[in-house]
Structure 1
Amino acid sequence: MSDESENTNGLRRRALIRLGAAGGAGAALAAAHTWAGPLLARRGLLSPDGAFAATATALSDELFYIEKYPTSPLIISPFSDPLPIPKALAPVPKSVVETWNNPPGPGPGQQNSLRNEQHQLWPSRIGYPDPIVYKINVLLRTHKFTTSQVLPIDSDGNPTRSFDSLGRRIDAGIKRTLPLSTIYGFNGTFPGPMINAEYGKPVLVRFENHLDENPLSLDRQDFGSPDLSFLTHLHNGHTAPESDGNPHYSMVSGPKHPGFRPQMFVDNLYLNWPAGGDDREKQSFFWFHDHTMDHTGSNVYKGMVGIYPIYDPKSGTDMGDERQGLRLPGVRTNNPDGSFDVKYDVPLVFYDCRLDDGVTIHKDIHDVQGEFPAAKNPATHPEWWGKTFYKHFPNHGFVGDIFTVNGTAAPVMEVKRRKYRFRFLDASVSRIYEFKLMSSTQGPKSSASLGYQDDELEGQYRIPDGQQCMQFTQIASDGGLLPVPIKRDSFELWPAKRREVIVDFTKYQDGTPTTKGDVIYLTNVMKMPNGRMWSNSSRFFPDPKYRVPVLKFVIGDTAPDDSKIPTALRPLPPLPSNWQTMLDNRMIFEVKRGSVAGETEWLINGKPFDPAKVLASLPNRAGRTPLAQQKTGSFNLWELRNGGGGWVHPFHLHMEEHRTVMRNGRDVTRTVDSGHPDDVSKEDLTALDPGESVIVYRGFRDFVGPYVAHCHNLAHEDHAMMFGWEITP
């Protein structure tokens, strides 16, 4: 449906939003206090901002504006493709680097192909060796999500027609093989490469843009940055601005453009050095992804995702060797090419997608602006049947109906009878997951065969008799190792967040031993029909029928296991005893939907992102509205507010991790919020439930220059929910 299409009452979407933002206040307020009140309260739509904003949003989005998405074809044989487990990328030999026309280095002009930037802090200045060099090309390639045949179905779950690559119709009921989807990939794969890094050993990655090259004559479809630019962000590396991959820097320095264009390269330097040189600030799992302004979501969805586990070799603490240090699961192999792999230490990258049905009309604001003229939208694209479908400008945020792990839909992994370390990453545009480990006697049944329709088809399969059978032992969050392990029946995984857990496959939670051939399903129990927020989860209105298996584990042979689950992991850096005295002068940033639609629909402090400016705080208790500028070496409290309307916002702060000190006015350093147990750890992303306020304590050390903060619902970020801030000398 187009932005200007009419609903059954003859109201256009944009006109309705304007009405809700201006003249509709009386009607919205009345609705909130009458028939709409219970509905809005249940859905988290009533907020501290008052009933008007919440109800106006609910009326426009819940009742009048419907976004049309395709229903992906049903995977007929799920859990038959093996889970891909990435191997570590090999560094470039020094002898090869020395032959490059423009080798990396510390001097002026040696940071990118434009020869206009210099690395702010070369490793020798902190007593570190020269960096290990990697080369990653950004390529136009293809990807297949499953080898299974598929059955085209409609939103009612019934067999429907499909189309071939020439757009010719194929009758309903005929099984198909999925065509290859077009991706933009780091080294041409999805997910992209894995770099196994170590503290004390800096890494320099040369990212080189080859997106203009099309050796396979692929159709680029209608998403991805239109000018083929890219900008890589190591999330959340402690990194200088020129290597951070953030638009606040890119637009005013370096390329002076949303990203690096075709045939350009950039050398991103990752020092692998903890903030302030403090071992307690060490992390354990980064990832890297595209950050091109206005097209982060589409480029990430198109495949620009890579992973970057980081180990701590100091005293053998966490170096991938379960015989020493913390003895976390992992058997390390040092490879002749300079890389190393760690067996039983497995990254799991989650990503939901939606495949084109050939009959859904493509049109959103990006098409109106003519960014993809070759697509000739608005139009249907039967020739794209079975390939990835994306909407740049969804009202809520983009969610898919096929759930993938490491780029494969419904994979299976044979595991040994021993302990494993799993590193979870949510690389989805908007979807939040909640995972449990479940057993099932009857096994997966397709949602369509169970009579489900529309949004209830998301995930494609369910295990109706699924029961929790194992627990997770969480050992790390997105800020690194926890102070102590935490036993979890389930955990939420928000966009861009990471969680690391140990799973013991030798026994069930009741103590019964596992046996060879047993099956356990990693199961999503959070129902999230759109990008606004979940409708059902363990915390809010659990749906006992929503058990979607995502990954199948099959127990294999017993294997040696020298790993332990330690009683303590890594202590947190201490908070100052007087942190509460900083409350009056804190920075305050409120994320909220704007009053009109378009490219600036999502705002912070009422303003869209301006790459040339830093944002001013809302008035604090001291009556000040300071600019978002912090002196290097300083610490401060920042308050992040969810302005309401019923959205959740995964809010990401670049450069240093933070500690949550208050949530909704309560001191969580004393009593942890039961809904957010990870508040006890360091994090780089704040989970904001509807209407929540969170105050975090964070540092600004070691570098100077511009950075950004933004919502990691990437549909929100791409439509202005981002702000610039700076570290000053």
Structure 2
Amino acid sequence: MSPEEPTAQVSRRLFLRTGALGTAGLLGVSSHAAWSPLLAQRGLLTPDGVFSAVGTALADAVFYTEHFPISPLILHPFQDQLPVPRALTPVALSDVRGWSLPPGPGLGEQSSLRNERHQKWPSQVGYPDPIVYHIELLVRPHSWTTSKVLPIDGEGRPTESFDREGRVFAPGTERTLPPSTIYGFNGTFPGPMINAEYGRPVLVRFVNRLDENPYDLDRQDFGAPDWSFLTHLHNGHTAPESDGNPHYAMTMGPRRMGYLPGSWVDNLYLNWPAGGDEREKQSFFWFHDHRMDHTGSNVYKGMVGLYPIYDPSNGTDMGDERRGLRLPGVRTDRPDGAFDVAYDIPLALHDLRLDDGVTPHHDIHDTQGDFPGTGNPAEHPEWWGTTFFKHFPNHGFVGDVFGVNGVAYPVLQVKRRKYRFRFLDASVARIYELALMSSTQGPRSAASLGYVDDELQGQYRIPDGQQCMRFTQIASDGGLLPFPLVRDSFELWPAKRREVVVDFTRYLDGSPTTKGDVVYLTNVMKMPDGRMWESSSRSSPDAAYKVPILKFVIGDTAPDDSQVPRVLRPLPPLPPRWKDLMPNRLIFEVKRGALGGETEWLINGEPFEPDSVARSLRNPAGRRPLAEQRMGSFNLWEIRNGGGGWVHPFHLHMEEHRTVMRNGRDVTTTPQSGHPDDVSREDLASLDPNGSVVVYRGFRDFVGPYVAHCHNLAHEDHSMMFGWSITP
């Protein structure tokens, strides 16, 4: 092969990430000499040869059609009841013993591959054997709403629609949405909820049955093409073999991107705080897919589950408002070994788009031939009204329909008392800012108010909406705060959790509520794409953007023994001289790359390499250390946003961190106004445009490979991730 041929400079890594069909397409484009002057003018001719030729300037033309459908308008929002999940039933011990391959601590007892063992069994930390759960990955139908819908176009006008049989329905025809296809934990979205407790380990056997399709559903063109999965308990203090991360999966265990159909894996969650330190206890995890390159599509397809974790030590936070901190919750222990907690409700927020039948399906996965049965690039009128997804990496996918717990615009009947709500942003890229509002006139469709295109996102507005209540925040990603924070509104970034108490007995002005009153959980952050918000309370607020997501209807008064204490849980202390660690900190910069395609997003200028650990940028001490930490050590890591007007929700696996500096300022005593949660422990750093954070975190109890990545899942899936490890 001559040096003049562009493939001479194609690395094996980039070839594999693009795929044979994609590479062939690239060669076809790059082989034309006529492209060279244009590419040179745009700065696309670099040592990476042909792959630079498919950078930003060519991505849209060759790999993507950057166009998204307008979802049909849900005509009767806030009629469907909010699903309040019931705790999953554990498997009876007698049934577990009857399994042909029961769980255990021995070699080969960690998965169906029979090649790994659990690094630390509960007995090694003085805990009993785990409670066992069985969860299957299933292909199932899912309905987002029972309401009739009206197909509309980007101008908000009625438009035609279609069905699977090829019939065309005239503009103005009201329709019932067909069910969408999900890949769900036990076949639901969100999947099951496991109510866990510290001191009571949990083992979940995840079984892949995604090759089965008993309802003969159309799988469409998103979700891992090989139907594999990799479950991550976000952000459990967990050994690598149970962490569900690609750095482990690609080098150990399955030695591929995920667990294939027919296989199973036992993920062991010790429910043991880092270092055995009571101050490290958390309160709300979630589990989701982490399959390399298709995390976003698998999560959007339904792989989301809930995992509240309670603290029974001295009754501190065990779901019983008569004991300990007395946070809202009335606990009922069930004969099947699970327990439920009334007035303590997880709220998983998500956004989605529904196919309009005329928007082209065209992205790099079609070029690679990942979904050969679809005929893409193509329009799909037969998919009208079902969930639409595009792997498009540049901005990150955002939807125009907002849902909670798997239902679009639900309603929740609440008693006149205090509630604990556990918020989760399960969206691919969207950030929310949430407020509690009243409205005399009620919701009006954005189309009827004259909005068009991106302004139709959210579908409804409450033009006369006014804040009527406050949130009392009691927890963030890392568990209970040191003290409660009273909030008029709060931001919720992808994968973040925020726990709040809402008192439905009185309004902001002190007046009492009455039966039948209505309060709307309202999003006031306008975010037309995944780049960042266009307006929010802390940046160019738009007084007209008030999108109701969930309707609360206040009912009868109920007994309430709960309270919000002045002090919750103390933070683990920082070392007095933590700033002495600054010169030797590890530094990682997240930034968009120039290559396009599957390596759109980079860290320290490099794409994710699943078989190695990353290296820091040069630190003030003049070193570039590897991202390897000794077990039991603590260190400072800096995460920088490389600019471009993007925001990045950056997640570090395994332990929580404490933000000590933001944008070069010490925030250990006084956080910056836009990030009051910096007073807490978190597992995800919110990076504003051009911002940076320095975090202090530990590396305790386990050894092996982990990852850190952007939780805008389009960024993660297109290489904004790095491997790191804990060494003995």
TM over 0.5: yes
Shift of 1:596: 2.2
Q: State the distance in 2 between where 1:591 and 1:242 align.
A: 27
Q: What is the aligned partner in structure 1 of residue 712 from structure 2?
A: 713
Change (3 A) 1:60 1:163: closer
Q: What is the aligned partner in structure 1 of residue 6 from structure 2?
A: none
**What amino acid is the match of 1:355?**
L
Q: State the distance in 1 between where 2:153 and 2:177 align.
A: 16
Deviations 1:147-171 (A, max 9, x none): 0000000011000000011232111
Q: State the distance in 1 between where 2:468 and 2:65 align.
A: 39
Q: Helix, strand or coil for the counterpart of 1:321?
A: coil
Change (3 A) 1:382 1:717: same
Change (3 A) 1:481 1:469: same
1:69-84 matched pairs, under 5 angstroms: 69-84=68-83
Deviations 1:46-81 (A, max 9, x none): xxxxxxxxxx989999xxx97100000000000000
Q: What is the aligned partner in structure 2 of residue 683 from structure 1?
A: 682
* Structure 2 spans left out of the alignment, 5+ residues: 1-21, 27-33, 47-54
**What amino acid is the match of 2:210?**
L
Q: What is the aligned partner in structure 2 of residue 103 from structure 1?
A: 102
Shift of 1:23: 8.3
Shift of 1:410: 0.5
1:428-447 matched pairs, under 5 angstroms: 428-447=427-446
Q: What is the aligned partner in structure 2 of residue 192 from structure 1?
A: 191
1:333-372 matched pairs, under 5 angstroms: 333-372=332-371
Deviations 1:368-405 (A, max 9, x none): 00000001100000000000000012420000000000
Deviations 1:169-200 (A, max 9, x none): 11110000000000000000000000000000
Q: What is the aligned partner in structure 1 of residue 17 from structure 2?
A: none
Q: Alignment identity in percent?
A: 74
Q: What is the aligned partner in structure 2 of residue 726 from structure 1?
A: 725
Q: State the distance in 2 between where 1:14 and 1:208 align.
A: 50
Change (3 A) 1:358 1:616: same
Deviations 1:106-142 (A, max 9, x none): 0000000000000000000110000000000000001
Query: Do the aligned partners of 2:329 and 2:419 also contact (CA within 8 Å) in 1?
Result: yes
* Structure 1 spans left out of the alignment, 5+ residues: 5-11, 25-55
Q: What is the aligned partner in structure 2 of residue 273 from structure 1?
A: 272
669-678 or 481-490, larger mean C-alpha shift:
669-678
Q: What is the aligned partner in structure 2 of residue 43 from structure 1?
A: none
Q: State the distance in 2 between where 1:506 and 1:15 align.
A: 69
Q: What is the aligned partner in structure 2 of residue 220 from structure 1?
A: 219
Q: State the distance in 2 between where 1:678 and 1:57 align.
A: 35
Q: State the distance in 1 between where 2:390 and 2:138 align.
A: 22
Q: What is the aligned partner in structure 2 of residue 29 from structure 1?
A: none
Query: Do the aligned partners of 2:495 and 2:711 also contact (CA within 8 Å) in 1?
Result: yes
Q: Helix, strand or coil for the counterpart of 1:87?
A: coil
Deviations 1:459-481 (A, max 9, x none): 00000000000000000000000
Shift of 1:14: 12
Query: Do the aligned partners of 1:162 and 1:172 also contact (CA within 8 Å) in 2?
Result: yes
1:32-51 matched pairs, under 5 angstroms: none
**What amino acid is the match of 1:280?**
R
Q: What is the aligned partner in structure 1 of residue 543 from structure 2?
A: 544
Query: Do the aligned partners of 1:634 and 1:701 also contact (CA within 8 Å) in 2?
Result: yes
Deviations 1:409-437 (A, max 9, x none): 00000100000000000000000000000
Deviations 1:267-304 (A, max 9, x none): 00000000000000000000000000000000000000
**What amino acid is the match of 2:181?**
T
Q: Helix, strand or coil for the counterpart of 1:95?
A: helix
Change (3 A) 1:683 1:20: farther
Q: Helix, strand or coil for the counterpart of 2:387?
A: coil
Query: Do the aligned partners of 2:615 and 2:624 also contact (CA within 8 Å) in 1?
Result: yes
Q: What is the aligned partner in structure 2 of residue 577 from structure 1?
A: 576
Q: Helix, strand or coil for the counterpart of 1:599?
A: helix
- Whether 1:464 aligns to 2:463 is yes
Query: Do the aligned partners of 1:398 and 1:715 also contact (CA within 8 Å) in 2?
Result: yes
**What amino acid is the match of 1:510?**
D
Q: State the distance in 2 between where 1:252 and 1:70 align.
A: 39
Q: State the distance in 1 between where 2:36 and 2:644 align.
A: 17
Q: State the distance in 1 between where 2:178 and 2:58 align.
A: 39
Q: What is the aligned partner in structure 1 of residue 8 from structure 2?
A: none
Q: What is the aligned partner in structure 2 of residue 134 from structure 1?
A: 133
1:603-614 matched pairs, under 5 angstroms: 603-614=602-613
Q: State the distance in 2 between where 1:255 and 1:620 align.
A: 36
Query: Do the aligned partners of 1:17 and 1:595 also contact (CA within 8 Å) in 2?
Result: no
Q: State the distance in 2 between where 1:527 and 1:604 align.
A: 28
Query: Do the aligned partners of 1:417 and 1:559 also contact (CA within 8 Å) in 2?
Result: yes
Change (3 A) 1:465 1:199: same
Q: State the distance in 2 between where 1:293 and 1:602 align.
A: 14
Q: State the distance in 1 between where 2:41 and 2:330 align.
A: 61
Shift of 1:21: 4.5
Change (3 A) 1:704 1:15: farther
Q: State the distance in 1 between where 2:36 and 2:657 align.
A: 38
Shift of 1:345: 0.1
Q: State the distance in 1 between where 2:684 and 2:504 align.
A: 30
Q: How many residues align?
A: 687
Query: Do the aligned partners of 2:59 and 2:596 also contact (CA within 8 Å) in 1?
Result: no
Q: What is the aligned partner in structure 2 of residue 525 from structure 1?
A: 524
Q: State the distance in 1 between where 2:242 and 2:36 align.
A: 39
Shift of 1:671: 2.0
Q: State the distance in 1 between where 2:627 and 2:38 align.
A: 34
Q: Helix, strand or coil for the counterpart of 2:314?
A: helix
Q: State the distance in 2 between where 1:583 and 1:615 align.
A: 19
Q: Helix, strand or coil for the counterpart of 2:455?
A: helix
Deviations 1:623-664 (A, max 9, x none): 000000000000000000000011100000000000000001
Q: State the distance in 2 between where 1:509 and 1:284 align.
A: 28
Q: Helix, strand or coil for the counterpart of 1:717?
A: helix
**What amino acid is the match of 1:201?**
R
Q: State the distance in 2 between where 1:23 and 1:465 align.
A: 54
1:175-254 matched pairs, under 5 angstroms: 175-254=174-253
Query: Do the aligned partners of 2:661 and 2:695 also contact (CA within 8 Å) in 1?
Result: yes
**4+ residue runs of structure 1 moved beyond 2 angstroms?**
12-24, 56-61
Change (3 A) 1:104 1:441: same
Q: What is the aligned partner in structure 2 of residue 560 from structure 1?
A: 559
**What amino acid is the match of 1:607?**
E
Change (3 A) 1:107 1:66: closer
Deviations 1:204-259 (A, max 9, x none): 00000000001111110000000000000000000000000000000011111100
Q: State the distance in 1 between where 2:222 and 2:483 align.
A: 43
Query: Do the aligned partners of 2:528 and 2:534 also contact (CA within 8 Å) in 1?
Result: yes
Q: Helix, strand or coil for the counterpart of 2:388?
A: coil
Q: What is the aligned partner in structure 1 of residue 649 from structure 2?
A: 650
Deviations 1:531-567 (A, max 9, x none): 1000000010000000000000001000000000100
666-675 or 630-639, larger mean C-alpha shift:
666-675
Q: State the distance in 2 between where 1:13 and 1:80 align.
A: 56
Q: What is the aligned partner in structure 1 of residue 11 from structure 2?
A: none
Q: State the distance in 1 between where 2:295 and 2:58 align.
A: 29
**What amino acid is the match of 2:560?**
D
Q: State the distance in 2 between where 1:13 and 1:416 align.
A: 66
Shift of 1:509: 1.0
Shift of 1:20: 4.6
Change (3 A) 1:80 1:567: same
Q: What is the aligned partner in structure 2 of residue 401 from structure 1?
A: 400
Q: State the distance in 2 between where 1:66 and 1:544 align.
A: 33
Q: State the distance in 1 between where 2:609 and 2:128 align.
A: 38
Q: Helix, strand or coil for the counterpart of 1:396?
A: coil
Q: What is the aligned partner in structure 2 of residue 662 from structure 1?
A: 661
Q: Helix, strand or coil for the counterpart of 1:550?
A: strand
Q: State the distance in 2 between where 1:658 and 1:133 align.
A: 30
Query: Do the aligned partners of 1:20 and 1:57 also contact (CA within 8 Å) in 2?
Result: no
Shift of 1:22: 5.1
Q: Helix, strand or coil for the counterpart of 1:549?
A: strand
Q: What is the aligned partner in structure 2 of residue 514 from structure 1?
A: 513
Shift of 1:16: 8.2
Shift of 1:330: 0.1
Query: Do the aligned partners of 1:706 and 1:725 also contact (CA within 8 Å) in 2?
Result: yes
